[in-house]
Chains A and B, each alone.
Chain A
Amino acid sequence: MNQELLDRIDLIERMVGEGRRTTQYWGWTFVLWGVGQLIALAWSIYGGKPQIAWPVTMIACGVLTTIGSHRMHAREKAETYVSRALGSIWFSCGISISVLAFIGNARGIFTTASFLAAFFALMGFANFASGLVLHWRLQQALGILWWAAAAVAMLAPDQFAAWTFVGMDVVGEILFGLYLMAKERANLRHARTA
């Protein structure tokens, strides 16, 4: 009897773990936005019509993210609370950045450094909050790194803020996204063989 009851407790724990295992994969979005921002930066410095470089690239990234996430939702067999929490954090963060970028920059109320400080702080918020939801120290550390970059953007000269942006784009978005994609692929392989 005792063993049967203990087996039931073990079963509940295992199934709760199964239910919490997210079926969504978001590493590609970090890479997409990271690369998109580098393209926009390069275009605005070296390309023609630099005034449309950022709006065009960011809208393209937004459209690709929307298509990709819709396809992922259609394939998804269950919606977990974790995936909804993470989706809410990043969607809200994306809207906040868009409002600041499109309206704030169009009205010219930001300097490069002040806009980057706000952008870094929002990225810090989204990464740290995601790290807390997932109990994932690496993403919490990444959130702190984004916040540190926000402090640098406010304290250092403007030119340094732009280089901080390039550094954070590569480390905090492209490299982190590639790492996440490799981790997700390994998890998927593990789930298939389990």
Chain B
Amino acid sequence: MPELPELDQVVHGQLRLAVLSILSTVEKADFTYLRDRTGSTDGNIAAHLLKLEQAGYISVEKTFLNRKPMSIYRITETGRSALSTYIRNLKKLLGAEFNKVK
């Protein structure tokens, strides 16, 4: 029987997965956009963004717009590859579960 793949726990977190999924479809997004699209709060999303940044899955650029600080986020190549691997493993796990039911 083939061994079941393990899911990357950094990607698996609901909010972190939501952020990575959004960033995989846009070139860049600012903090408020990510907060609003995920329906999260400032404190909650900030903690998860930091975790993704520490894992090297996203990069952040601090800038100013009309003298207000702004954080722009982008997915990195490592992050994109981690998300692809996560989705592949998710499908494998679901496939194995479905086979078990059959």
Interface residues of A (CB under 8 A from B): 1-2, 5-6, 8-9, 11-12, 15-16, 18-20, 74, 77-81, 84
Q: How far is the CA of A26 from the CA of B70 in the complex (A)?
A: 25
Rounded to whole Å, the gap between the CB of B27 and the closest CB of chain A is 5
The residues of B that contact A77 with a CB separation of less than 8 Å are: 29-30, 32-33, 36
For B27, give its contact among A9, A20, A79 (CB under 8 Å): A79
Dominant secondary structure at the B interface: helix
Name the 8 nearest CB pairs between A and B, nearest first: A19-B25, A77-B33, A15-B21, A78-B29, A19-B22, A79-B27, A18-B37, A78-B33
Whether A2 pairs with B94 at a CB distance below 8 angstroms is: yes
Question: B97 interface residue, CB < 8 Å from A?
Answer: yes
Smallest Cβ-Cβ distance to A21: which chain B residue: B37
Interface residues on B, range: 20 to 34
Dominant secondary structure at the A interface: helix
Whether B14 pairs with A81 at a CB distance below 8 angstroms is: no
Whether A6 pairs with B28 at a CB distance below 8 angstroms is: no
Question: B82 interface residue, CB < 8 Å from A?
Answer: no
The residues of A that contact B32 with a CB separation of less than 8 Å are: 77
Whether B37 pairs with A15 at a CB distance below 8 angstroms is: yes
Q: How far is the CA of A25 from the CA of B79 in the complex (A)?
A: 30
